[in-house]
Amino acid sequence: MDRAQKEKVVEELGQIFESSGVVVVAHYTGLTVAEMQDLRARARAAEASVRVAKNRLAKIALEGKPCESIADYLSGMTVLTYSEDPVAAAKVAEDFAKDNKKFEILGGAMGETALDRAGVEATSKLPSRDELIATIVGMIGAPASNIAGAIGAPASNIAGILSTIEEKAEAA
């Protein structure tokens, strides 16, 4: 790889480190090509990404970035799993690690917050951005539907009572 290519890789990695909600670092020694393709497919499905990069270039790209704390994890055969959503990449990495013992999660970062192995696991158990939005919308919508039901209930009760009175009057 020549100098221009290395500079391009450092720039790409810098953008990844700057814009990602979470970055997870793992060792992938012993994984087959098919297993790596499976990891990439799972990441794509969760709107996350997987990147293998030279550790030296990644460390250069990390300088001055919010997730600079992950530089300590960059040794050996490492792979980066990252996403804009602060939970998606952690969920993908954790699920993949459960199925593949050769995939060893070292740690990561969520913005400026460094995550150790347990931190990545805890992050993976949080609800995703979409799940939180759905919950909030449900909470906002619930009082409105309760109010509509309460307002509509007396009218339907009155209509029921009137129809009962009407039926009794016709029967008599």
Block means of pLDDT (10 residues each) for the chain, length 172 residues? 87 88 91 93 92 91 87 90 89 92 91 87 82 77 63 63 78 74
Distance of CA 35 to the CA centre of its chain: 21
- pLDDT of 164 reads 79
- pLDDT of 114 reads 86
In this structure, what is the dihedral angle of CA atoms 50, 16, 87, 130, given to the nearest 10 degrees? -100
- pLDDT of 135 reads 78
13-26 per-residue burial string, b: 16 or more CB within 10 A, e: under 16: bbebbeebbbbbbb
Which backbone phi and psi does 81 adopt, to 5 degrees? Answer: -115, 125
- pLDDT of 25 reads 93
